[in-house]
Amino acid sequence: MELLGNLLMGLGVAVSPINLAWCLIGVFLGTAIGVLPGLGPAATIAMLLPATFGLPPVSALIMLAGIFYGAQYGGSTTAILVNLPGETSSVVTAIDGYQMARQGKAGRALATAAISSFFAGTVCTLFIAMFAPPLAEIALKFGPAEYFSLMVLGLVASIVLASGSLVHAVGMIVLGLLLGLVGTDVNSGAMRFTLGLPQLADGIGFVIVAMGMFGVGEIVANLEDESNRDLMVKKVTGLMPTREDWRRMVAPMLRGTLLGSALGILPGGGAALASFSSYALEKKTSKNAHELGKGAIEGVAGPEAANNAGAQMSFIPMLTLGIPSNPVMALMIGAMIIQGIQPGPAVITEQPQLFWGLIASMWVGNAMLLILNLPLIGLWVRMIMVPYHLLFPMILVFCAIGVFSLSNTAFDVYLMAIFGLLGYVLKKLDCEPAPMLLGFILGPMMEEYLRRALLIAKGDATVLVTRPISAVLLLLAALLLALVLLPTFKKTREEAFKEG
Amino acid sequence: MRSAISSPKDLWAGLLYIAFGAAALLIGADYKVGTAGRMGPGYFPKALAWLLIGIGVVALARAFLVKGGPVTGIAWKQMSLVLASTALFGWLLTRAGLIVALLALVLVSAAASREFRFDWRATGGLVLLIAFCALVFVKGLGVPMPILGTWLEPWLGAVLPWLR
């Protein structure tokens, strides 16, 4: 019953008119930017982040959560209507969603995506409310050794979940860790890798890296090939799924939600793998498996539910441990720190209003998506129809101004251009940026925890395996790594990502 | 020689890792390593740098062993124009002000597109965009970007005081 009371308190915070308004604005802006082809949730949030700086903490986080859901759903809309997935996790939605759109069932595909996302979001909100507080209790017992081992586990998990080659996933993580160390060393005050530039003394801002790699780099990649995008539908009609649709939607939705929740809680960010695995699962279990790939509603409902569940469950490691499991969560942590909140297990007890308000607003945000986005679909279609050659200079303008406004210096704009270059080069070499960003954000934290752990243990590295929780975490990491290197699993993993 | 390399992407990625690792070692050459119990500022970075070099070597080995696609279609023109326009914006912003910087950013980057035509629609959009940015970001959100900048302020500031 405590759970219910807490949720009600959170709901009280979330549905106060002012916060409701911020949530609405967030969902609206998030969808508006998120539907633009080539902009995934991370880029969308990075671009809109500066807009929340002026708000009080609770409102800022609620608005960000709204932006997050809006961006997620916007990506699915683009995937269905123009077959242009903004990020890996909506690649799967594009397969059957686009086929449905070609058959004139775009409205039903969009509604299915919205309903499955809402369902998964509702279930996961409850999961988070149930599991986050006990996990935070455990997390309060964590010392530096445990934190370090947990981050190792998270990084190993992100290797498993990355879709490219393993060598490059590891390479990108280490590169990210190294780049994360740029700036002043907190222990000794020594400047590291700043090349004598005072602007780098505080390190490289995460938002700059994210905007450079996901914004600028992506623009260059999109400009390579400007062949016209196929917008299947000029006007979306028939939003309501038929009775038959509902019947076929339920089972994949349930399976997708469960699969997504299980994979999403892993540090390392399971949204992409969740949607791919859900599609694979539907292929094995669905009665209509033969229709998958040709516009089957199961191929939209399952992966969309899984994708949303995975994305939402990644709030758990973020809220209870202060550890981001993907670039989006890293941005949320960045926003919290800017608001003066140190994310971690203490937030639940010290700022219950904020914690439960955020959780309730997740659900409110999901509900708003359903209410707001389906009627506004005409507007989103028009946004998608803006030709890319008119769109990309605008994206560039908002990225540049956004980055400048972080600390009002032109240096950050140059830095963004450099990371744009790096992002484009890495894309050309088939190296995925997500593990690098994860390493980037975890780099300084890992160093700090390792230092503290070893300082307490007087340099005895066995402390990492003699403390039970730490040992279990490292064992899990080793098992995962061994699993990845096993030939049979390697094949399954490759297949899971090839389903599309 | 060339035919021995079966996966050029791995080759370049490997070289990239080694370059970053070597640069970290070089720049950080005099960072104190310390001991495991008392790590200096150089301990963790140096360990990572060696690790990265190791991964780079593995990737290089892969380049000769695995079959992979060639690196194709690098959009040199698009890349240089987009990056240059971004940097130009940063350089012009404080000097020539937001209006000029935005003009430069949009026009230079738009040249990267084969489809872009500078017609009435684009011009109208550009004017609207600049007005929107000046109103929302500078006047509304209070981002300290000079609209005229140090170059134009002495000339236009007196004539158009509302642009200050």
pLDDT in tens, A96-107: 888 888 888 888
Residue pointed to by tokens 């104190």: B32
The model's confidence at residue B149, banded by pLDDT at 50, 70 and 90, is confident
Chain B partners within 8 Å of A388 (Cβ):
113, 115
Identify which has the larger pLDDT, B59 or A49: B59
Q: What is the pLDDT of residues A272-326, one digit of tens each?
A: 678 888 888 888 888 888 888 888 899 899 999 998 898 888 888 888 888 887 8
Nearest Cα of chain A lies from the Cα of B151 at a distance, in angstroms, of 16
Please tell me the predicted confidence (pLDDT) of residue A418. 96
Residues B80 and B100: their CA atoms lie apart, in Å, by 20
In this structure, how many other beta carbons lie within 10 angstroms of the beta carbon of residue B12?
18
In terms of Cβ atoms closer than 10 Å to its own Cβ (0-12, 13-18, 19+), residue A409 is: middle
The predicted pLDDT at position A229 comes to 59
CB contacts, 8 Å: A37 with chain B: none
Picking from A47, A52, A167, A191 by the largest number of B CB atoms within 10 A of its own CB, the best residue to mutate is A167
Q: How far is A61 from chain B (nearest CA, A)?
A: 18
Least confident of A408-412, B27-31, B143-147: B143-147
Per the structure block, which two tokens stand in for A51?
């807009």
**Cβ contact (<8 Å) for A417 and B48?**
no
What would the two tokens of residue A392 be? 């990309």
* Contacts B32 to A, Cβ<8 Å: 188, 190
What pLDDT does residue A5 have?
85
What integer pLDDT is reported at residue B1 of this predicted model?
46
> How distant is the alpha carbon of residue B155 from its chain centre?
33
* Domain that residue A353 falls in: 2-498
Intervals of chain A under pLDDT 50: 500
> Inter-chain contact A174–B59, Cβ cutoff 8 Å?
no
The CA distance from B164 to the nearest CA of chain A, in Å, is 17
pLDDT at A433: 83
C-alpha distances out from residue A287 to A112, A246, A250, A405, A499, Å: 18, 15, 13, 53, 18
- The predicted pLDDT at position A424 comes to 94
How distant is the Cα of A110 from the closest Cα of chain B, in angstroms?
Answer: 30
d(CA B157, CA B164): 6
- Residue A475, pLDDT score: 93
Domain count, chain A: 1
pLDDT recorded at residue A500: 44
Whether B87 sits inside 8 A of A417 (CB atoms) is yes
Residues B126-140 pLDDT 10s = 999 999 988 888 887
Q: What local confidence, expressed as pLDDT, does residue A488 receive?
A: 62
Q: Do B48 and A178 touch (CB under 8 A)?
A: yes
Q: What is the spatial distance between Cα A225 and Cα A38, in angstroms, rounded to a whole number?
A: 13
Chain A residues with CB under 8 Å of B24 CB are 178, 193
pLDDT for the residue numbered A210 = 87
| pLDDT confidence of residue B24 | 95
Pair B113, A392: CB distance under 8 Å: yes
- Amino acid at site B105: L
At B34 the three-state DSSP class reads strand
Token output for A253: 């939705």
Return the closest-CA partner of residue A347 out of A19, A50, A57, A147.
Answer: A57
CA torsion A331-A334-A336-A339 (nearest 10°) is -130
Q: Which one is predicted more confidently, A405 or B101? A: B101
Q: Determine which helix (DSSP H) or strand (DSSP E) holds A261, and give its type and residue range.
A: helix A243-264
